[in-house]
Amino acid sequence: MPGAGEQRVAMSGKGVPKQEDSPRVLVTGGSGVLGRAIVEVLRREGARVAFAYHRDEEGAGRIAAATGAHPFRLDLLDQKGPDRLVEEVEGVIGPLDGLVNNAGVRGDALLALTSDADWERVVGTNLGGVFRCCRAVIPGMVHRRRGALVNVISLAALHGVTGQAAYAASKAGVLGLTRSLAREVGRRNIRVNAVAPGFMPTAMTEALTAEAVSALRRAECLPEGVQPASVAETVAFLLSPRAASITGQCIVVDAGVST
């Protein structure tokens, strides 16, 4: 989204930017619970939004119909996929001002029992996919001298989790990428940040037992825990001019677990 030095967008209606001034944002993993929440918040704030999904075409269609966002299919293990996606998206909504790397997969197993194929799938999707999506949007943002990227990671990147070596390594890699990229592109008025959500009720966590969920939530300070909507609001804030002086940071949204 536009940086701190740019003129504020003109407003129309109930405080929503005019269509020609609306920021343009791509959200990966947009058909999931958190992805949909991010799309909804960005659309409510007046952004033109495209979102990527992997398999759930029907679900993506429902989100598109409900929000007016534009769905595109993406396989993050396809090394050429992000380049094609960005070209297609910009052909529909225009040059991108924002990117949210939200898509990801988990593959729980003790490290000694993790196969090469599972390791490559998790790291290739979560870290390799973010790398390629960032690489696909950066040249245009550098040329336009504006942009904001938000990478969704996990508390697993910050704290050890038994059975999640591949997942934690991939998300920790994204955090390192975030901080390095922030230094590379900051002088071009491009900001890069990460958000680390705590436990949320999503498709990725729905298979957990009640006991496992209770253990994950035991250290929370807030009774409602972490809701996708609150994480989505944090993402939207980091994309916006309200966060014009924030880059290279990881914002933890975990209801106080890390306190």
- Residue 14 within any structural domain of the chain: no
- Residue 8 within any structural domain of the chain: no
Cα 233 → chain centroid: 12
pLDDT digit string, tens, across residues 228-255: 999 999 999 999 999 999 999 999 999 9
Q: Which domain range does residue 243 map to? A: 19-253
pLDDT digit string, tens, across residues 178-225: 999 999 999 999 999 999 999 887 776 766 677 777 777 888 999 999
Number of domains in the chain: 1
pTM above 0.85, yes or no: yes
- Residue 161 within any structural domain of the chain: yes
53: annotated active-site residue: no
- Residue 1 within any structural domain of the chain: no
Split at pLDDT 50, 70, 90, the class of 56 is very high
Which CATH number covers residue 206?
3.40.50.720
Provide the token pair at 171.
């998300």
- Residue 10 within any structural domain of the chain: no
pLDDT digit string, tens, across residues 18-35: 556 799 999 999 999 999
- Residue 115 within any structural domain of the chain: yes
Rg (CA), the chain: 18
Question: Which has the higher per-residue pLDDT, 59 or 213?
Answer: 59
- Residue 259 within any structural domain of the chain: no
Candidates 167, 171, 195, 234; catalytic one: 167
pLDDT digit string, tens, across residues 73-87: 999 999 999 999 999
Beta strands in 163-231 (DSSP E): 190-197
Residue type at position 122: V
- Residue 78 within any structural domain of the chain: yes
